[in-house]
Structure formats: C-alpha cells, structure tokens
Structure 1
Amino acid sequence: MLQQASLYGFLRTILIILLVWYGIKILTRLFAPYLMRYMSKKMQQKFEGQFGQQQQRQQPTQKEGETVIDKIPNRNTTSNKKVGEYIDYEEVD
C-alpha cells in the first residue's frame, strides 16, 4: 500500500529543519566566543609549559667562556688497510 505525502507533513518537516538550522546558528554565535577563549587559554598554557621546559634544558651550568665537551670521540677506531686497489682516473674530452 503506497502512501502519499501530504503537503502539511512536507511543510512541517521543512519548518522543523529551518528551526533547527537557525537555532544552531544562534547558539553558535552565543557560545563561540566562550569556546574560543577557552581554547586559546589552553593553547597558551600548553605553549608556556613547553617554553618553560625548553628554557630549563638550555640553562648553562658552566661559567661564561668555559669550554665544555659533551662527547669524547672514540679513538679505538682503526682503518682497514685492505681497502682495494688504487686506480688513477684521467678525464677524456
């Protein structure tokens, strides 16, 4: 059995969709500034925390002008003398 949509039901559906659409628009305009302010405060706190951690890592523990070597190179490396035959190359024009 097929039912036909009535004009009243169609208009009612369109009206409900429009009311929901405009209701969301109005609520967004009301609450968007508060949401943006909240998000900006959270981002500011996050950046301040990261900046503070970076500053703590970079604080020098030595006196100004003092030379500090962070890594001493390994001197136990020996070169392999059996690397191959030396071939002299010449450029050909």
Structure 2
Amino acid sequence: MDTASFPGIIRTLFIIMLVYYAVRYFLRLLAPTIVQQVVKKAGENLYQQQQQQQYNYQQDQESKTREERPKEKKKVGEYIDFEEID
C-alpha cells in the first residue's frame, strides 16, 4: 500500500489546476463558434417549424372550404308561390 507524500499531493494539485486552466482557455477560444452553431441550428429549427405550421394552416383552410361548399341539390322543378284567397 502506498502512502501519500507531500510532493505527490502538490503534483496532483498542480495537474488538476493545469487541466482546469487548459479547459478554461480552450473554451474561451471555442465558445464563440459553439454558440454561433447553436444559434444557427435553433434558427433553422424555428424556420422549419414556421413553415410546417403555415403548411398545416393552409391544409386546414382548404379542407374547411371543401366542407363549407354546399352540395348541389337535385332540381325538382320551379317554385310556385301560392296566394290565399279570402
């Protein structure tokens, strides 16, 4: 079994700090491009959703106009207006 030594602890803390600052540095370099890609993708998704909703709305309007059209009735004859005689 190994025992912890003071130089080993210092070396471990140094490695942890080195990794922390390296990740922080690279994130500062890459963050603008990552954010730009996320915003671009979100914009594309919103555009596609808007197009889909517009398409669905048009389909609904077309189906409503088809349903609202009166069906042609058979013509039986002319309408005769009768008057009552006293």
Normalised by the length of structure 2, the TM-score is 0.63
1:3 Cα deviation (Å)? 3.8
| 1:5 Cα offset (Å) | 1.7
Q: How does 1:1-93 map to 2 (within 5 A)?
A: 3-59=2-58, 60-61=61-62, 69=68
Task: Provide Cα deviations, 1:46-93, integer angstroms capped at 9, x if missing partner.
Answer: 11011011112223449xxx7x53xxxxxxxxxxxxxxxxxxxxxxxx
Residue 46 of structure 1 aligns to a residue whose secondary structure is helix
Looking at structure 2, the residues matched to 56 and 50 of structure 1 have their Cα atoms a distance apart, in angstroms, of 10
Output the TM-score relative to the length of structure 1.
0.59
Task: Give me the CA root mean square deviation.
Answer: 2.2
Distance apart, 1:35 and its partner CA: 0.6
Q: Distance in 2 between matches of 1:49 and 1:32?
A: 26
Alpha-carbon distance change, 9 to 55 in structure 1, aligned in 2, over 3 angstroms: same
**Overall identity of the aligned pairs, in %:** 33
- Tell which has more relative contact order, 1 or 2 (C-alpha 8 A, sep 6+): 1
Computing the radius of gyration over CA atoms, which structure comes out larger, 1 or 2? 2
Structure 2 residues not aligned, in runs of 5+: 69-86
